[in-house]
Structure 1
Amino acid sequence: MPLTFTLDPPVTPGLRDGILELWVDVTEAGGAVGFVPPVTREDVRPELVRQFVAMEERRSRLLVGFDEEGRVAATAFLTLNTHRLMTHWIWLYTVMVHPRHQGKGYGRDLLAAAERAARTLPGVEAIRLTCRGGLGLEGFYGSCGYKEVGRVPAAIRVAPGDDRDDVIMLLPLT
């Protein structure tokens, strides 16, 4: 059954807890979403609060995919650029699909929903994201229409002696 996507859902305690659970579960399963395992809700909570602040300040939008049981199954943050010379593109951050739903095409559905949402934003001509090299993510994003436009070698230190490239991807909307 497909996910139901909602842009800017009301932030309730249930939504907050669902995103925290998702973020921890994705990280624990090896997902490249800003942390490395082991991670707890308390580790993730400050980053989620920063995202909620950006939403309150209207600098970021939250896209949530709910499963058939109404649980948070996928998320992404669409973040506006505040630099006056870069307002024609947005960032896509923290793209996550819960491990129990991976392999069902929901990642592609999430990216398609993010693209639809971005197309509703005035003046936005592209979506930019970065991903951690060494996991094949650039291949996945490439299959969804994103193009690799840059790479910073060894920019992400996962652990001592384990540095990964920061891969920059772009999806033109025009």
Structure 2
Amino acid sequence: MLSRVTACEPTAPTLTQFARPSELPGARRRELAACWAAVVNAGGAVVPADCPPPPLTGADLAAAVDRVAEGLAPEQGRLLVAGLDGSLAGWLLLRREGHPLEAHCGVVNHVQTHVHLRRRGIGAALLREVRRVAGEEMGLERLKLSVRAGLGLEDFYRRAGWAEVGRWPGALRLAPGDDRDEVLMSLAL
């Protein structure tokens, strides 16, 4: 587990990365699940298939967080967590693609900022750090992610240097009559 402060300002998030399941204590797992539930309940995150429909609690997402933790390994997957004033502010998951033809690429998932802490630069700090970790520590050459259209996320990622490389029209059905494009984004490191 490694921690870094992203700036000299007292309100700058502290970024911590976890590279092994054993590094992620139960209290931190509960914080991750609570954040994920809050983001889902605000309409901003995907609900894992084995969870009930929203509204969710952290307990509903405990098994999903455990699966995230079990996938951590220094060369294969890292969890980046942003803290603010000692509390979890946001997180994301970085994993190396498993297929040999794509092993130079990483996938970023679960980019989440606690709902009450949005617009404070936490997501941007996480994206800067994932870029650094992916290139400098994991030796990746490209990152990819997909986002749901209709929430303005494409603009957020573009400002962070990501490029839209394609769309799957209507690929995401949020509810009957509410189909959204899945936007594919890429970042060369």
Question: Common fold, TM-score beyond 0.5?
Answer: yes
**Could you tell me which residue of structure 2 aligns to residue 105 of structure 1?**
121
Residue 37 (structure 1) aligns with: 54
Tell me, what secondary structure is at the counterpart of 1:55?
A: coil
Query: Aligned partners of 2:122 and 2:73: how far apart in 1?
Result: 27
Whole-angstrom distance in 1 between the partners of 2:142 and 2:73 = 23
- Whole-Å Cα distance in 2 between the matches of residues 111 and 58 of structure 1? 19
Label 1:104 to 1:12 Cα distance change in 2 as closer, same or farther (>3 A): same
CA distance in 1, matches of 2:61, 2:183: 23
Whether 1:77 aligns to 2:77 is no
Q: Secondary structure at the match of 2:95?
A: strand
- 2:20 matches 1:7: no
Equivalent in the alignment of 1:172: 188
* TM-score normalised per structure 2: 0.84
What is the one-letter code of the residue matched to 1:80? R
Deviation at 1:98, TM superposition (A): 0.6
| RMSD value, Cα | 1.7
- Aligned residue pairs total 171
Q: Distance in 1 between matches of 2:153 and 2:26?
A: 31
Q: Secondary structure at the match of 2:65?
A: helix
Pairwise CA distance, 1:162: 0.9
Offset of residue 41 of structure 1: 2.5
Q: 1:153 corresponds to which residue?
A: 169
Q: Any conservation in 2 of the 1:80–1:91 contact (CA below 8 Å)?
A: yes
Distance 2:108 2:140 in 1: 12
Which amino acid counterpart does residue 34 of structure 2 have in structure 1?
E
CA distance in 2, matches of 1:87, 1:56: 14
Amino acid at match of 1:46: A
Moved more, 2-11 or 136-145: 2-11
Distance 1:87 1:106 in 2: 28
Query: Among 78, 81, 88, which residue is 1:61 paired with?
Result: 78
Shift of 1:3: 0.5
The answer (yes or no) to whether the contact 2:35–2:58 under 8 Å persists in 1 is no
Unaligned ranges ≥5, structure 2:
1-10, 48-52
Of 143, 146, 154, the match for 1:138: 154
Counterpart CA distance in 2 for 1:107 and 1:90 is: 18
Do 2:172 and 2:182's aligned partners in 1 also have CA atoms closer than 8 Å? yes
Residues 36-63 of structure 1 show CA distances to partners (whole Å, capped at 9, x for unaligned) of 7322334322322221121159632100
1:25 corresponds to which residue? 38
Per the alignment, residue 116 of structure 1 pairs with 132
SS at match of 2:137: coil
